């Protein structure tokens, strides 16, 4: 939903936002004596960088004693503000040159495209009412770039229209489309692709002259600053809780002929199927996590085959294989060391972590079922492993 203030003159819009912000701060100060723990940051809790999302849901409860309950706060936490705007109605999120690279698509002018993200440490604040993305390149004034973008609340890219040299696209943003507090990397992504020529060749504009395109993205405030709730305590006094509980899946490695069977080339090749597993609803990898422990058990028509586990996350943008801790018949235990930047922020309503189950070898073919359990722990790997084995 777009902000209704976007049609007002910028000066008037900012005056209204500033007035609302003042009233919000005054209301918070007046209410402070009546609300236990409601004030600005505690003296021993410095203000965190980031913005807020007051509608982010609290952790869910599944009945397990290791699952956090909603609304819990640490002793040092208080209601507080996060301000990315610093008194300005418009801030710059991106100002850099991107390079269009050749693509394999034959329907693109010059086959040029680029996907890029905001720099680390820059997010789209929840108060954002709109983004303005402008492009410019040297050389001919002709040519167009097609824009698509992926907001923070979806994995699908959305159409943003065609942009001429020097043109600007306006993206209206609802609160759900923006990033949550304390994120190190924005979940937004942008794609620029050289637009296909017009059907009438005579009227077709010349293509983009160069591959280097200057892109400027600004954010305009559209909502008053939120007073953020205390940081949620996902641990609830425990050292581990389940991230994925008894996920059931099937893996089949298909065997297909490879080329002409009369040749001396290998007669068969295996096409391994990879199963993507996401965390259970309402579970995240919270701040403080040191280790992820996983148990993968399986049955297969080929008894000697095994399964492997890999991961990917979008907080730091890392991925890789999980380390095997224990290898037994039909079962493996894995660990993943988690760095502070890889964790989800306290206000996250979903994790960016996902796991991949795949056959560990191509011959003989794996064909069977598996069960995956994953725990997050704030302990080092040996202690986290011992705790998970007791579950």
- Count of structural domains, the chain: 2
Let me know if residue 85 belongs to a domain: yes
307 closest CA partner among 247, 389, 258, 352:
247
The pLDDT assigned to 219 comes to 97
The pLDDT assigned to 301 comes to 78
Query: Are the CB atoms for 192 and 114 separated by under 8 Å?
Result: yes
Beta-bridge partners for 175: none
Residue range 102-151, pLDDT digits in tens: 876 544 444 788 999 999 889 999 999 999 999 999 876 678 899 999 99
State which of 227, 254, 280 marks the end of a domain.
Answer: 227
pTM to 2 decimals?
A: 0.61
Q: Can you tell me the distance from the alpha carbon of 340 to that of 115, in angstroms, rounded to the nearest whole number?
A: 26
Task: Say whether both 292 and 202 belong to one domain.
Answer: no
Q: Can you tell me the distance from the alpha carbon of 283 to that of 298, in angstroms, rounded to the nearest whole number?
A: 24
Task: Say whether both 252 and 223 belong to one domain.
Answer: no
The pLDDT assigned to 197 comes to 58
Q: Can you tell me the distance from the alpha carbon of 232 to that of 324, in angstroms, rounded to the nearest whole number?
A: 32
CATH number at residue 325: 2.60.120.380
Query: Are the CB atoms for 53 and 180 separated by under 8 Å?
Result: yes
Let me know if residue 163 belongs to a domain: yes
Task: Say whether both 148 and 200 belong to one domain.
Answer: yes
Domain that holds residue 321: 240-389
Let me know if residue 232 belongs to a domain: no
Q: Can you tell me the distance from the alpha carbon of 155 to that of 345, in angstroms, rounded to the nearest whole number?
A: 19
Task: Say whether both 276 and 223 belong to one domain.
Answer: no
The upper half-sphere exposure of residue 308, i.e. CA atoms within 13 Å in the direction of its Cβ, equals 14
Let me know if residue 264 belongs to a domain: yes
The pLDDT assigned to 228 comes to 75
Task: Say whether both 60 and 150 belong to one domain.
Answer: yes
Let me know if residue 302 belongs to a domain: yes
Let me know if residue 244 belongs to a domain: yes
State which of 227, 262, 284 marks the end of a domain.
Answer: 227
Ranges of the chain whose pLDDT falls below 50: 1-75, 106-110, 199-204, 256-270
Task: Say whether both 303 and 374 belong to one domain.
Answer: yes
Task: Say whether both 16 and 50 belong to one domain.
Answer: yes
Query: Are the CB atoms for 57 and 68 separated by under 8 Å?
Result: no
**Cis preceding linkage at 386, omega within 30:** no
């Amino acid at each position: 939903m777009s902000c209704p203030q976007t049609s007002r003159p910028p000066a008037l819009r900012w005056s209204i936002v500033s007035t609302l912000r003042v009233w919000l701060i005054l209301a918070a100060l007046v209410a402070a004596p009546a609300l236990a723990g409601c004030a600005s940051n505690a003296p021993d809790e410095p203000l965190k960088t980031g913005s807020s999302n007051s509608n982010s849901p609290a952790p869910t409860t599944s009945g397990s004693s290791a699952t956090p309950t909603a609304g819990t706060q640490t002793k040092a936490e208080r209601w507080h503000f996060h301000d990315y705007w610093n008194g300005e109605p418009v801030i710059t999120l991106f100002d850099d040159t991107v390079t269009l690279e050749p693509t394999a698509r034959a329907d693109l002018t010059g086959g040029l495209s680029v996907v890029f993200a905001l720099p680390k440490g820059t997010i789209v604040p929840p108060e954002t009412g709109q983004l303005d993305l402008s492009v410019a390149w040297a050389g001919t004034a002709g040519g167009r770039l097609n824009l698509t973008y992926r907001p923070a609340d979806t994995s699908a890219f959305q159409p943003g229209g065609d942009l001429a040299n020097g043109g600007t696209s306006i993206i209206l943003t609802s609160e759900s489309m923006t990033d949550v507090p304390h994120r190190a990397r924005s979940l937004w992504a942008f794609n620029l692709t050289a637009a296909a020529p017009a059907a009438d060749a005579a009227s077709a504009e010349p293509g983009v002259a160069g591959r280097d395109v200057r892109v400027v993205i600004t954010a305009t405030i559209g909502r008053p600053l939120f007073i953020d709730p205390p940081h949620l305590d996902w641990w609830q006094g425990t050292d581990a809780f389940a991230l994925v509980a008894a996920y059931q899946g099937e893996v089949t490695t298909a065997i297909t002929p490879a080329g002409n069977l009369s040749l001396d080339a290998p007669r068969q090749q295996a096409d391994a199927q990879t199963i993507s597993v996401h965390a259970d609803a309402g579970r995240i990898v919270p701040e403080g996590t040191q280790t992820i422990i996983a148990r993968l058990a399986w049955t297969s028509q080929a008894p000697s085959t095994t399964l492997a586990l890999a991961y990917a996350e979008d907080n730091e943008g890392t991925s890789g294989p999980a380390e095997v801790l224990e290898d037994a018949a039909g079962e493996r235990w894995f660990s993943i060391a988690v760095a502070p930047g890889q964790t989800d922020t306290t206000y996250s309503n979903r994790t960016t972590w996902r796991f991949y189950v795949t056959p560990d070898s191509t011959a003989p073919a794996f064909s069977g079922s598996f069960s995956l359990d994953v725990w997050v722990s704030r302990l080092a790997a040996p202690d986290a492993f011992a705790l998970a084995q007791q579950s």
